[in-house]
């Protein structure tokens, strides 16, 4: 007879094997999510104002001959992941048959394209083949160091975007959607800093959504959105915001304060305020997220970025994970 220890060992081993299978197909979750966004499944259900059947969903898909069994399998997976609900109802002809109706959940509401706050563009951005390719270089990065995006594409992300308008749009739209969510939560709460400045430069501001949110709530601020030329070339007009193209490692426009928002890469929040060169003191705030506010050292300065200043950690926060390596100098307050 097997001992308890042996049974536990066997049970644990089988569970371990099941987990390997789950991990092996972990990508299927992302791909199902991406498909839901591409097919606009949440929008189709939303446009009916309530749960709808599979054939009603199919008729809303942009295709003259959608594959219904395929759609059924996709919906089954999305329901299992909690992205949609599925409830059986007696069919309308009064027979024994039941039909399933699919509805939205708190998850799928974030996938609506026309909603003011949506993660749909971010889902498309993070799951497009250009963004997924670098993940195949993870092991290679461990062995040899380097930057996965550059290994996959032969250049850094910004150069890649400058040469590839489709990627540029997917990337900028994705960032803009996530930024809108963050800024909507953040700006109304952060009163003191914005009350006292007249002009604000968002360095690496993408297509300008972040500074537009600030200016909307603090209209006395003159907003300047600064990013690489190929990014600002596609930026929409926003009231109170002007777009300036350039390279932040060469010069940045003048302003009372400089704002930088980026995706946080560090696992540990940085601990202190770093003021360089301007001789000003500032309150130390806990870092609450991914927003940095940099106060320019010379309000009347040329806007030229000096040399040195950031240590390597600082620089990494400014450069994205994609590997810009130039150094820059400014006064940085993390909030």
Footprint of ligand SAM (CB under 6 A) = 158, 175, 179, 204-206, 210, 227-228, 231, 247-249, 261-263, 320, 324
DSSP per position, 83-127? SEEEEEEE-TTSSS-EEEEEEE-TTGGGG-TTSSS--HHHHHHHT
The residue behind tokens 């810009």 is: 324
Pick between residue 243 and residue 262 the one whose CB is nearest to ligand SAM: 262
Minimal distance, residue 208 CB to ligand SAM, in Å: 9
Task: State in angstroms the smallest separation of the CB of 3 from ligand SAM.
Answer: 55
8 A C-beta contact, residue 259 and residue 292:
yes
Tokens 């290679």 label which residue?
140
Q: Starting at the edge strand that comes first in sequence, how are the strands of the sheet with 98-104 ordered? A: 52-53, 98-104, 84-90
Estimate the crossing angle of helix 27-38 against helix 41-48, to 10 degrees: 50
Between 195 and 250, CB nearer to ligand SAM: 250
Pick from 158, 122, 322, 326: nearest CA to 230:
158
Instruction: Name the minimum Å distance from CB 146 to ligand SAM.
Output: 18
CB-nearer residue toward ligand SAM: 168 or 331: 168
Query: Closest separation between CB of residue 329 and ligand SAM, Å?
Result: 14
SS3 state of residue 260:
strand
Identity of the residue, 42 or 231, whose beta carbon is nearer to ligand SAM in the bound complex:
231
Q: Which two tokens stand for residue 131?
A: 């963004």
Query: What's the sign of the alpha-carbon dihedral 303, 307, 309, 315?
Result: positive
Residue nearest to ligand SAM (CB): 204
Q: Is the Cβ–Cβ distance between 218 and 195 less than 8 Å?
A: yes
Closer residue to ligand SAM (CB): 46 or 262 = 262
Least Cβ distance, residue 275 to ligand SAM (angstroms): 22
Contact status, residue 273 vs residue 266, Cβ threshold 8 Å: no
Q: What is the smallest separation between the CB atom of 4 and ligand SAM, expressed in angstroms? A: 53
DSSP 8-state code for residue 249 = T
Closer residue to ligand SAM in complex, CB, 57/248? 248
In whole angstroms, how close is the CB of 291 to ligand SAM at the nearest point? 9
Q: Which is nearer to ligand SAM, 11 or 263 (CB)?
A: 263
């Amino acid at each position: 007879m097997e001992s308890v220890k042996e049974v536990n060992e066997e049970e644990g081993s089988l569970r371990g094997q099941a987990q390997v299978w789950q991990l092996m197909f972990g990508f299927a979750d992302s791909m199902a999510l991406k498909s839901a966004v591409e097919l606009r499944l949440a929008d189709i259900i939303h446009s009916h104002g309530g749960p709808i059947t599979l054939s009603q969903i199919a008729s809303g898909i942009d295709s003259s001959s959608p594959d219904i069994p395929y759609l059924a399998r996709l919906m089954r997976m999305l329901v299992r992941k909690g992205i949609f609900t599925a409830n059986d109802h007696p069919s309308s002809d009064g027979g024994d048959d039941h039909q399933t109706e699919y509805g939205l959940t708190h998850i799928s509401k974030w996938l609506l394209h026309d909603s003011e706050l949506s993660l749909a563009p971010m889902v498309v951005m993070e799951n497009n083949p250009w963004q997924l390719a670098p993940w195949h270089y993870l092991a290679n990065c461990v062995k040899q160091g380097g930057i996965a995006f550059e290994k996959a594409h032969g250049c850094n992300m910004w150069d890649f975007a400058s040469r590839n308008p489709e990627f540029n749009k997917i990337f900028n739209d994705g960032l803009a959607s996530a930024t809108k969510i963050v800024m909507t939560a953040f700006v109304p709460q952060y009163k003191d800093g914005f009350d006292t400045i007249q002009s604000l430069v968002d360095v690496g501001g993408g297509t300008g959504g972040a500074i537009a949110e600030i200016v909307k709530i603090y209209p006395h601020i003159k907003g300047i959105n600064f990013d690489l030329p190929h990014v600002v070339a596609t930026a929409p007009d926003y009231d109170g915001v002007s777009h300036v193209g350039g390279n932040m490692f060469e010069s940045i426009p003048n302003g009372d304060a400089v704002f930088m928002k980026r995706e946080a890469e560090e696992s540990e929040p940085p601990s202190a305020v770093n003021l360089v060169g301007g001789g000003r003191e500032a309150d130390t705030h806990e870092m609450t997220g991914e927003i940095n506010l940099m106060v320019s050292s010379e309000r009347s300065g040329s806007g030229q970025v000096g040399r040195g200043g950031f240590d390597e950690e600082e620089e990494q926060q400014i450069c994205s994970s994609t590997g810009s390596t130039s150094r820059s100098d400014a006064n940085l307050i993390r909030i």
